[in-house]
Structure 1
Amino acid sequence: MATITKRNNSYRATVSLYQKGEYKRETKTFKNKKDAELWSLEMELEKGRGKNIAERSTLFTIFYQNWVNTVKKNDVREATFINYIRTITVVSSLFEGIKLKHLDDIVMQKKIDKYAETHSKKTTRELVLKIRGSLKYAYARGLITNDFGSLIKAKGQEHPKRNIALSITEFKKLRQHCVNHQEHEFNVLVLLALETGARRGELLGIKKDDLFEYGIHISRSISPTNNDTQLKTKHSKRDISINKDVYNSLLTLAESKSDYIFDWNSFRQSQQLQKLLKQLEITKTTFHGLRDTHASFLFAKNISIDYISRRLGHNSILTTQNYGCTINSVGE
């Protein structure tokens, strides 16, 4: 049972806990007796529900690290798990010395806001999503009294959009250059990116056996950070039709290859693309911007959104609709 002891002008509540053959105590000091009694009652009720109150004194940094290495390790693909591992250092820095029992949405929000001061809103949002997942698990285990993760908001700096869709004029200019200079393997890769809207890793993962008449089969993705070749989603596995000239370019390149069609080139495609765009005096964009360019071209042609969704390998049509709203419109 809980005990309440008056100490000068405050009241100290103590709850006895039994865990793994050992008795422990959880204490908290209040200004008035009523609050001490209310807290004691809540703790006794939590004990009665089988909640793991003793472990609420665990540091959040330790809990988060264990959650990543035990729960998430077998729950996500290798590439995603690596992203979780990277957040351990961030969480360890932000929440050093803070115990689970001392966490609430206000404490958490202040720490997240501090992180957001030097990071983009997108990066902050990704961190918040991971922390929310850990808090949901902590609540289910009875390590925190409520799931306040949904109350945490992601702020941060708004950086200029890097994945810019090229205009139709620039699209045609880049495509024609790649067609005219196929002696450079990278130009064929860019040509295929413009033609299919496939992700860079998906293009680098194409093997000779993935070619079929006027089309390519997407079945793997190459990552610069790990050996995981799984695709982003189950819908990413797809067949994409291509024009005859692009198909012939791939056939010619494939003749000199034994397995993968494109050289991974130490994953320096981004630098190569910037050099090419500067040479042609075309708007600076990223390799993913070529995917946006392809999508914009399809949207501009009023092609069925269902077809666009399948071609891009999206999880659902809703994803494609949202995607269409975020990319820039194709210029004339």
Structure 2
Amino acid sequence: MATIIKRGNAFRATVSLYKKGEYKRETKTFNTKKDAELWSLEMELEKGRGKNIAERSTLFKEFYRNWVNTVKKNDVREATFINYKRTIVVIDKIFDDIQLKHLDDIVMQRRIDNYAETHSKKTVKELVLKIRGSLKYAYARGLLTNDFGHLLKSKGQEKPKRNIALSITEFKKLRQYCLSHQEDEFNILVALALETGARRGELLGLKEEDIFEYGIKINRSISPTSTDTQLKTKHSKREISINQDIHQALVTLAKKEADYLFEWNGFRQATQLQKLLKQLGLSKTTFHGLRDTHASFLFSKDISIDYISRRLGHNSILTTQNYYLELMPEKKHQQDADALSLLNDLSL
């Protein structure tokens, strides 16, 4: 049973706990006896429900480390697990001295906001998603009194987007150049990225057996950080149609290669792409920006979002809408003109 002792003008409540074969005590001081009694009653009820109150003294950073190395290790693919492992260092720094029992949304939000002051919003959002997952697990294990993860917000610096979609004019120029210079294998890779919107790892994972008339099958993905070739999600496994000229380029290339169609080249495709774009006088973007270009081009031609989403291998069309669909300059200018024309008709 809980005990309450008056100490000066305060009241100290003590609850006995059982942890790993030993009895321990949890104490907390209150300004009023009523608050002490309410806390004691809550603790006793939690014990009665089988909640693991004793473990709530564990540091959050220790809990998070164990959660990653035990729960997530067998729950995600190898490449994703490596990403989780990287966040352990961040959690150690942000939540250095705080115990599970002292956590709530306000305490966590303050520490996350401090981290957000020097990091991008995208980085913070990815971290918060992982923290939410760990809190949900802690709540299920009885280590937290409530699951407040959904209350956490992702702030951070709005950095310029690096995965810029090329304009339609630039898209055509880059595609035509690559198809006209197939002697360089990298040009075929770039042309295929523009043609399919597939991820770099998915393209590097292509083999001759994945080519069909006229299309490619996405069955695996190559990672620069692990030997895991699993695809990102179940929706990533798909077939993507391609034009005859791209198909012929792949068939010709397949005759020269024994295993994978493309050389991995130490995963230096980003550097190679920058040199090519500069050579052609095109806007600077990333290899992933070719995926954005593909999606935005189809969107500008009024192709349905549902089709674009399936072609890109997304789990949801929300992902396609939030990250990949932008109005290319030519399309924006046309829509500006259409909008102004409609508004002008009102004055006639």
What TM-score, normalized to structure 1?
Answer: 0.96
One-letter amino acid of the counterpart of residue 222, structure 1 = I
**Following superposition of structure 1 onto structure 2, how do residues 1-332 of structure 1 map, counting pairs within 5 Å?**
1-323=1-323, 326-332=324-330
Cα distance change, pair 322–123 in 1 and its aligned pair in 2 (3 A):
closer
**294-303 vs 180-189, greater mean Cα deviation:** 294-303
Distance 1:186 1:123 in 2: 30
- Amino acid paired to 1:281: G
Are the aligned partners of 1:164 and 1:328 in contact in 2 as well (CA < 8 Å)? no
Change (3 A) 1:54 1:118: same
CA contact (8 A) 1:162 1:289 kept: yes
Counterparts of 1:61 and 1:313 in 2: how far apart (Å)?
35
- Partner amino acid, structure 1, of 2:185: E
Aligned-partner residue type, residue 74 of structure 1: N
Structure 1 contact 164–327 (Cα < 8 Å) conserved = no
Q: What is the number of residues matched between the two proteins? A: 330
Which consecutive residues of structure 2, in runs of 5 or more, have no partner in the other structure? 331-348
CA distance in 2, matches of 1:306, 1:52: 46
AA partner of residue 154 (structure 1): S
The one-letter code sitting in structure 1 at the alignment partner of 2:201 is G
Q: C-alpha displacement at 1:26, in angstroms?
A: 0.5
Equivalent position of 2:336 in the other structure: none
Residues 125-148 of structure 1: CA deviation (Å, up to 9, x unaligned) = 111111111111111111111111
Shift of 1:149: 1.1
Q: 2:5 aligns to what SS in structure 1?
A: strand
Mean alpha-carbon deviation: is it higher for 247-256 or for 83-92?
Answer: 247-256
Local SS of the residue matching 2:74: coil
Contact kept, 8 Å, 1:12 with 1:29, in 2: the verdict is yes
Asked whether the equivalents of residues 120 and 156 of structure 2 are also in contact (C-alpha less than 8 Å), the reply is: yes
On the 8 A contact 2:116/2:156 being kept in 1, the answer is: yes
The alpha-carbon distance between structure 1 residues 319 and 158, as it changes in their structure 2 partners (threshold 3 A), is closer
TM-score by length of 2: 0.92
Q: Distance in 2 between matches of 1:257 and 1:266?
A: 17
| 1:258–1:317 Cα change, 3 Å | same
1:216-274 CA-to-partner distances (Å, cap 9, x unmatched) read 11100111111111111112111111111111111222211001000001100011111
Aligned residues: percent identity? 79
Q: Which moved more, 1:305-314 or 1:195-204?
A: 305-314
User: What secondary structure, in the 3-state scheme, does the structure 1 residue paired with 2:179 have?
Assistant: helix
Query: CA separation in 2, counterparts of 1:237 and 1:133?
Result: 26
Equivalents in 2 of 1:91, 1:131: separation in Å? 9
Matched residue type, 1:273: L
Asked whether the 8 Å contact 2:210–2:218 carries over to 1, the reply is yes
Q: 1:165 touches 1:327 (CA, 8 Å); kept in 2?
A: no
Partners of 1:31 and 1:220 in 2: how far apart? Answer: 61
Deviation at 1:318, TM superposition (A): 4.3
Structure 1 moving runs of 4+ over 3 Å: 316-323
